[in-house]
Each structure stands twice: as structure tokens, then as C-alpha cells.
A and B are shown apart, each in its own frame.
Chain A
Amino acid sequence: MTFPRRLLFAIAVLAVAATSLFMPAAHAQAPAGQAAAASDLAPALAKIAADSFSDTEAALVALSASPNPQAGVIVAALSEGRLLFDPATKAVYVRPKAGGALTDAATGTAVASEPAGLKPVRRNNRVRRAAEAAAGALSLLSPDPARRLEAAGAVFKSRDVTVLQTLNTAINRETVPQVRDALMQAQAAILMTTPGVGEPERLAAVNLIVARGDQEALALLANLPADAPASLKAAAAAGVAKINRSLAIWNVAQNVWYGLSLGSVLLLAAIGLAITFGVMGVINMAHGEMVMLGAYTTYVVQEFIRTSYPGLFGWSLAITLPLAFLFTGVVGIIIERTVIRFLYGRPLETLLATWGISLMLQQAVRTVFGPTNKEVGAPSWMSGAFQVGQLSITYNRLWIIVFSLLVFFALLVVLKRTSLGLYVRAVTQNRRMAAAMGIRTGRIDALTFGLGSGIAGIAGVALSQIDNVSPNLGQGYIIDSFMVVVFGGVGNLWGTLVGALTLGVANKLLEPFAGAVLGKIALLVFIILFIQKRPRGLFALKGRAVES
């Protein structure tokens, strides 16, 4: 019943589109071509003003192919009941959505005084449907490439046969290759599922869809209509197999990426511990709380920026980094000077005392900031994502990987190339000899602990971007961090790097088979067994001591 009408509509769209092809520059030079464009809308507006449903519908068909930006405004206004006309002068006006003065429908300019006796353009269901279709078609022809891309995606999903003609017009006019591909894919999606289309065309369409090669293409190929010709089905089946193969590879790549991302998080969390535990041998159970304090520093700095200097928000993380390093570093030095100093050589007692400190820090933060999650915003350069093939890469994850490596190498440089690093290594290797050489070992202990804590703090700044900032933030990382340090080898920064990335990637590669929780359990069991085999980790420091 509606099909012939739709066909008519499609033909009309084609006709209008064809005419519109001859004035391609109309939207490119809007101000100059305003008058011409307005006159282009005139017949449609005249029909709208005729106050009949069928005329309005015909006008919508004409509008749907119009390159004039004002056409979209008119269609939207009509479907929302904001389109008015003057029965006397037959002029058509748009009432802006936000209120304010009426605008002239043809030109979009505001009308100085509102004429009396305006009537809204009447709508029935058919007009509404036509308006909807026109809106869709208009976005396919929209001057904005992003909108065209979006519309192409929508058509790919809906596979609405009636937009086929508009789609053809859009493809012929398209200049942006990426959008053109999307439009062609949308066209192919319609063609391959439409029974009336010739077989060679449908086969070509299937090939085009196979070339797209993503999950949506797969769904489309798998759901070919039952009455499709055999050759088409065979091509689709071959395509499904091909896509599945390539998707499997992409899937592994995606998991490796997730794994690297998780590994970088682990690295960030563990790297401070690699100093306090790995280099100094202090079991710092409050390490996670240092990370948490760093995250809260981010929150406080961002709140301050938001209320006082909103313009600096894009810089908030960069501003926070040194502050978080200093703050947590100072907290770490205080802890070292007041508690840990008295417990050197008694690692188990250190473990208990630092656990007590972690409880107090957690409760302190809970008392000051409340137990709920705090909102930490992301600067614009940290949000969003981009595609590499079928790989979706988010900017925040990418930056965290880069950042963790930067921190790692900076730390490496500090330990290997600065005098502080030299002293730290000297005290680690032989405390009494270092003292005899004039190194103030107590001061180095405090500074080293402060360094490790400060690095935990800047890890917290990064982790605030991907985790909930709550008083329990640190608890989630402490066991993982210890696993990384112990697995990689105590006292070896490279071991920490390799350990973190290995565990991260292994975790994510296990997940598809074992599930998130079982994968994690498997890793924990693996590490427990691994420590039995190599109690000093992957990269053990070689020494002559029987036990340390």
C-alpha cells in the first residue's frame, strides 16, 4: 500500500536531486548565493503555504533534495510544529527552538515584526513520516562531512530502501574519500538485501561489505535474506569466514593492546614500590595509599582550578604532577622518619606498621573527603579515541602507557646518572661501607623513601583518569603491585617493567578463555608457583648471600 507511494517519493527525490546537481556551489558560497538559494526554496515553500497535506508532503520531497542549509531548518521546524505560515501573504516563518524573533523560512533572517494571523503548518502522520525521511535524506546531503558520515552509518544499520536514490546522489557528489566509502557501504548494504536488484550488483555489494570487515559487516552477511540466490549466499559465507579470520587476528591485537594498557597501569602502581621494596627492602603496605593520595591531590587541584582559574583546566594534570610528587613525597619522608626508620632489619614488623599507617591514611581521607567517589575530570586531549584498522585506541589509555614509560625511564636516569642515585645504590649494596665513605645513610633512606612515595603519588594522578577516586583506590593496587615487583625481581627496575607488561598482557589474553576473575586467579596461582621456582623473581640480583 505504501510501497508505490514510496517509490513515487524516491523518483521525486531523484528528479530533484538531479536538478540540484547543476547548482553544486549553492551551499559553498552561502552569503553570495543566498538570493538564488532562497528562490530555489520558493516552490516548496509555496506548496507548504497551500495548507494541504499532500502539498506539504510534496514540498518535503522537494526539500529533502535541496542543497540549501535552510531546508534542514524548515524540515526540523515542521516536524516539531514550529513552522508557521501567513494565509494572507503565503509567507512561511520558522519559530526558533530557543524562542525569540521569528525567522523567515526562505532566508533564515529574523523578522522585525511578527505578522498577525499566523497559522501553524498542519501535520498528519503521512506528513510526519515524510518529514522524517526528508531529515534523513538531508543529513546524507548535509554540507558537514561528519554529519554525512553519521547519516551513512545510520543508513547502513537501517537499510531503508527508500533512501537509495538520495544515497546515489550523495555518492556522486561526495568528495571526501572516507565519507564516500561509508556511503558506498551503506548503498551496498541496501543493495545486497533487496530482492529486486540484479545478481552481479548484489555480488559486488557483498564484496564491498566483506572489504569493510568489521562486526557489523559480519552481522549483515550472516543475516542475508533466505530467498537470496545461491551464488550470493556462497559469496557471503566465504566473506563471513574471511572476516572471522581477520577479526580473530584483530581481536588478539586488541587484547594485547588492553594488556599493554593494564601492564602500564601495573607498572605505574608498582614502580614506586620497586624503589621502596625493591631497592630499600621496606615492605610498604601503605604504598597503595600513596597512590590514593596522589589521586586526591588531582581532585583538589582540579577543584581549585575549576573554581578559580577555569581556563587552566586543560593543564590541570600537568600542574598536579609536581604537586602530587611533592605532597606524597613529603608524606613518605614523614612516615620514614617517624616509623620505618626504627624498623630497618625487621621486615615483618615494617609490614605491620605500614599496614597500620595505610589504615589511618584511608580513614583520614574518608573523614576529610567522604567515602564516596570523587569526580576527576579529563582534559580534552585525554578523551576520545581513534581507530587503527579494527583496533579502537582511547587517548587516555595511550597517554597512560606513554606516561608510565616516561616515569620509568626518568627513574632509571635518576638512579643511574645522578648523585642521589649513586648514593642510593651505594647504601643498598653496602650500608656500612657507604656510611664509612661519608654518605649520610639516614638521609638517603628518607630521600629514597620519599622518591618512591612521590612516584606512587604521580601514578595516582594518572590512575585518577581511569579509576574511581575513592579512599579504597589504593587497596586495589597493593597486591598487584607486590606481585609485579616480586615477579619481576626485587631490586631490579627492568624486572619491574617486564613483570608489569607480562602480567598485564597475560591477564588480558587469558580473559577471553577463562573470564576476568578466573584469569586473575590463574595468574595469582602462577605467580605463587613461580616464586617457589625462582624465589628472587625473573631478574634476580646475583649475590653470594645465602639469605638476605
Chain B
Amino acid sequence: MSGNPSSLGILDRRGAIFIVLVLAAGVLVPVGNLLVPAGSPFHISDYLVPLLGKYLCYALLAVALDLVWGYCGVLSLGHGAFFALGGYAMGMYLMRQIGPRGVYGNPVLPDFMVFLNYKELPWFWLGFDWFPFAALMVLVAPAILAFAFGWFAFRSRVTGVYLSIITQAMTFALMLAFFRNDMGFGGNNGLTDFKDIVGFPIASGSTRGVLFFLSALALVGGYLLCRALVTSKYGKVLVAVRDAESRTRFLGYRVANYKLLAWVVSAMLAGVAGALYVPQVGIINPGEFAPANSIEMVIWVAVGGRGTLVGAALGALIVNAGKTWFTGALPEAWLFALGALFVVVTLFMPRGVIGLWGDFTARLRKPARGGVPAGKPAE
């Protein structure tokens, strides 16, 4: 299931096409928004840029989730927690950038802290006014949580459904915690009202364009990293763990360590996705920790095709585009559609869209020896 073996090193043909497409989109979308005049059919509206940027972040998140689910067999129902932690780290930086421009005009304390009668900045907010530190925290915060969680879970050989349920409990507990006002993260309002990011106004078209491009870059980078991991020897062991954990352990591999590495890397990627998501969406609140969100992420991967990485990104795009369309056109029907998607994909498409596509092209290729099939798909 781990893609076609390839002589091109870590990149197969599918991956190459994927990277080219994502990078092309990363350049063309901002260009279409900023340089193409508004009347032109190629113009991309101001509304669409952050929306597509959001999809790219989700795609990165899906790739991260696919690394642990598709290649390591760990179904995480709590990846939303890592995503949200990365988002909060970025959100804290953006909050500090507001400075005295908040409603209460306090140069140090964010508005919600003034409102809640904080006298000084809590210790865990220190340093977040400095971008490199915040950027580091985007990686470190999810990594610490993932490491602590994974260390305990994988050592004591919690597997399968039990692991899924406690990951869900983890994100649920975090959601409850972040909803509390005295946690110092803005309670249920979360962090919002951002003004600028590293000196650039956050709502301006060019900043959005750059953020979009960075999201595309992050997606490609995340994909390449995961691809490098799964095509290496390490990746082969990972797949062995997925398929026969006990046997791998009996062969002498330290299964827990293999799982832990994939788990922490995946959490960090999810954190990066969250950090890129927040400035484009403009808000982060504890709702991101909701267990339902994390389960929805799993369906992106399942729709695209688990264990393919490219499929995960594709699935995130398909499901979220569907969600945007449904919630606009038929809001009542969205949950029906999503629910049906869960059922149909698990029952009839265990290998997702990529799997269907593979079957389809394989069927086309056989008669292709004799005749010539019409439109050769360019993907």
C-alpha cells in the first residue's frame, strides 16, 4: 500500500506530479489574486485565497495523519490537538504583535487578559513576542505533548482501538482545559483580532499571498519529509510494525521507538499546519480541539487513500471543498453527506480515491496494449 516502488529515490511519478501541482498552485493563486485584474476570468477573489490556503493547511495535516495511520497503523483521533497547539503558539505570537492597538490599549497584555484582570503576563506567554521563539514553539509544543503521550502509550503497548480512544480523551481533556478562562489562553473566545505578522498587516492581499505560498511550500516540505521517512529502511520497519507488530518485536526491533519517531514527527507537522492556518483564518479557539474535528481529519485520509500521502492531501482537498460547497448550498445535507462518506468509504473504498484511480488506470492500461484509450489522464 505504500505507493509504487520506484527507482527515483524518494520520489515516484505520482509524488513528482503532486509537488509540481502544489508549487504551481502556490505561485499561481497569489499571482491570480494580486496581478490579474478583477474582471479577468483568471482572477482569484480575496475570499478564495485564504480559503484555498486553509485547504493547504488541512492537506498538510492530513499528510501528517497519514504518516501515523497509513504507515504505522496508529489511528489517531486526537491530531486536532497537535494542530491546535501549533495554532495557539502562532496565535500567541500574533496576540503579542497587537501591542497597544487592542481595545484596552495595554502595550503588554492582550485584551482578554486585561478583561480578566491579569496584572502581568503569565510565564508561558514570555518570549512569544519574538518570532523565532514562537516558530520554535510551533514545533516544540506539539512535539512535547506527542512525545509524552507516545512514550507512555507505546511503551505499555497500548494499541489499536484503545490507543484511538485515549487519543480522543487527550484532545477532549485539552479542549476542556482551553475552554477555561483562567488557563490564560483566552477561554472560549480563543485568540483573535490579529493585526500583523512579522511587521506586515495580516489582512492585506500580499501577506495573504505570501502565506498561501508558504503553506504550499510547507505542504511540499511535509510531503517530502514523510516520503523520505517511509521510503527509507526506517519506513520499511514502520510498515512491518503496522502489519505485524508482535512479529516485528520478536525480530528484535524496538517497536515503541519506531512508532514514537513517526508519532512525534507527525505531531510537529500538524503543529506547522496549525500555525499556518491561524493567520489565514484569523482566529484560533478551543473548538479546534473538539474530538469531532479530529475524527473528521481521519476521513480526509480515508477518502483520499490511506498509506499514500498524496491521497491524504487529495482527500483533505476533496472533503473540505465539498464541505464548503454543502454548507453554502445545502447546509442541512452536509452532515448526511459527511456521514454517508464515512460509511461508503469504509465499506466500498478501503483504498480511497487513489486506490480507485489505480484500479481504473490499470484497467485502461491492459486494453491499451492493443488499442489507444482516448483521453490519457494527465492527473
Contacts and interface: CB of A to CB of B under 8 A. Distances in A.
Interface of A: 283, 285, 339, 342-343, 347-353, 355-364, 366-367, 475, 479, 482-483, 486, 517-518, 520-521, 524-525, 527-529, 531-533, 535, 546-547
B16 interface: no
B29 interface: no
B20 interface: no
A547 B159 contact: yes
Main secondary structure of the interface of A (DSSP, over half): helix
Nearest to A530: B166
A535 B156 CA distance: 8
Contacts of B302: 352
Given A352-B299, A360-B340, 13 more contacts: A348-B161, A351-B161, A352-B302, A353-B346, A359-B338, A362-B335, A366-B335, A517-B177, A524-B172, A528-B149, A528-B166, A546-B246, A547-B246
7 contacts: A349-B346, A356-B339, A356-B341, A366-B335, A367-B332, A475-B292, A528-B152
B339 A358 contact: yes
Contact of B152 (A348, A517, A532): A532
Interface centre among A342, A483, A521 (most CB of B within 10 A): A521
B215 interface: no
Report the 5 A-B pairs with minimum CB-CB distance, sorted nearest first.
A356-B342, A359-B339, A360-B339, A363-B335, A524-B173
Contacts of A361: 339
Interface string B236-266: 0000000001100000000000000000000
B24 interface: no
B176 A521 contact: yes
B170 A535 contact: no
A343 B161 CA distance: 14
Nearest to A277: B161
Contacts of B342: 352-353, 355-357, 359
B42 interface: no
Given A352-B342, A356-B342, A527 B169 contact: yes
Nearest to B73: A348
A351 B295 CA distance: 10
A353 B160 contact: no
Interface string B81-115: 00000000000000000000000000000000000
Contacts of B282: none
Contacts of B161: 283, 347-348, 351
Contact of B339 (A283, A342, A357): A357
Contacts of A352: 295, 298-299, 302, 342, 345-346
B336 interface: yes
A366 B345 CA distance: 24
Contact of B338 (A356, A525, A528): A356
B146 to A, nearest CB: 13
A535 B179 contact: no
Contacts of A349: 346, 350
A359 B335 contact: yes
Contact of A483 (B149, B157, B160, B169): B169
Contacts of A528: 149, 152, 166, 169-170, 173
B158 interface: yes
Contacts of B298: 352
B158 A356 contact: no
Contacts of B340: 356, 360
A334 to B, nearest CB: 13
Given A283-B161, A360-B336, A524-B172, A529 B152 contact: yes
Main secondary structure of the interface of B (DSSP, over half): helix
B165 interface: yes
Contacts, number: 124
Interface in B130-144: none
B180 A518 contact: yes
B374 interface: no
B75 to A, nearest CB: 5
A337 to B, nearest CB: 13
B206 to A, nearest CB: 39
Contacts of B164: 283, 348, 351
Interface residues of B, number: 47
B176 A532 contact: no
A360 B179 contact: no
Contacts of B160: 347-348
B347 interface: yes
Given A355-B342, A356-B340, A479 B169 contact: yes
A524 B169 contact: yes
A343 B346 contact: yes
Contacts of B169: 479, 482-483, 524, 527-528
Contacts of A347: 160-161
B200 interface: no
A121 to B, nearest CB: 57
A285 B43 CA distance: 44
Given A528-B170, A532-B152, A532-B153, A363 B339 contact: yes
B173 A521 contact: yes
Contacts of B155: 532
B291 interface: yes
Contacts of B126: none
A346 to B, nearest CB: 8
B177 A521 contact: yes
B234 interface: no
Contacts of B168: 479, 482
Contacts of A517: 176-177, 179-180
Interface centre among A482, A529, A532 (most CB of B within 10 A): A532
Contact of B343 (A356, A363, A367, A535): A356
Interface in B151-206: 152-153, 155-162, 164-166, 168-170, 172-173, 176-177, 179-180
A371 B153 CA distance: 39
Given A517-B176, A525-B173, A532-B156, A482 B165 contact: yes
A546 B157 CA distance: 11
B159 A479 contact: no
Interface centre among A359, A482, A486, A518 (most CB of B within 10 A): A359
Interface string B278-297: 00000000000001100100
A207 B373 CA distance: 101
Contacts of A520: 173, 176
A531 B156 CA distance: 9
A517 B292 CA distance: 19
A483 B350 CA distance: 28
Nearest to B151: A532
A350 B156 CA distance: 24
Nearest to B175: A521
A364 B337 CA distance: 12
Contacts of B295: 285, 352, 355
Contacts of B173: 520-521, 524-525, 528
Nearest to B174: A521
A213 B87 CA distance: 53
A544 B334 CA distance: 46
A285 B292 CA distance: 11
A479 B153 CA distance: 18
